[in-house]
Structure 1
Amino acid sequence: MNAPNVALRAVRTGMRMSQDDFARALQAAGHRVGEPNDANKRLVQRWESGAIAAPRPVYVRALEVVTGLPIDLLGFTSVPGGQVADDNQGGHDLTSPMSDLATPVPTHRPAAVRGSYAGVWLSRYQYYSSGRGESFAGQHFVVVLQHGDRLTARSLPGSAASSLSLDLTVDGSVVTGTWVEQTDPGGYYRGARYHGAIQLLAEPTGRRMAGKWVGFGKDMDVNTGPWDLVFQDASTSKATLDRYNILPDRVDSA
Structure 2
Amino acid sequence: MKNSSQPLTLGLLVSLAVAFVVSWIPNSPVMASLALFTDPGAMRPWAFLTYPWAVPGNGNALFFYLLMGLWLWGIGGQLERATNARTYIVLWLGAALVHGLTYSVVAQGMKEVFLAGPGLPIAFFAVYLGGRYPQQAISFFGVIPMTMKIVAILVAVLTFFGYGTGAPMLGLAAVAPLALAWGLGSRQWQLHPGRSRADIKFERKKEAEFDQFRDEVRRREMEREEKERLRRLFESSLDDGDDSAKSR
User: Which structure is higher in strand share?
Assistant: 1
TM over 0.5: no
**Higher-Rg member (1/2):** 2
Interval containing the TM-score (normalised by the shorter chain): under 0.3
User: Which structure is higher in helix share?
Assistant: 2
TM-score (norm 1): 0.27
With a CA cutoff of 8 Å and minimum separation of 6, indicate the structure with the bigger relative contact order. Answer: 2
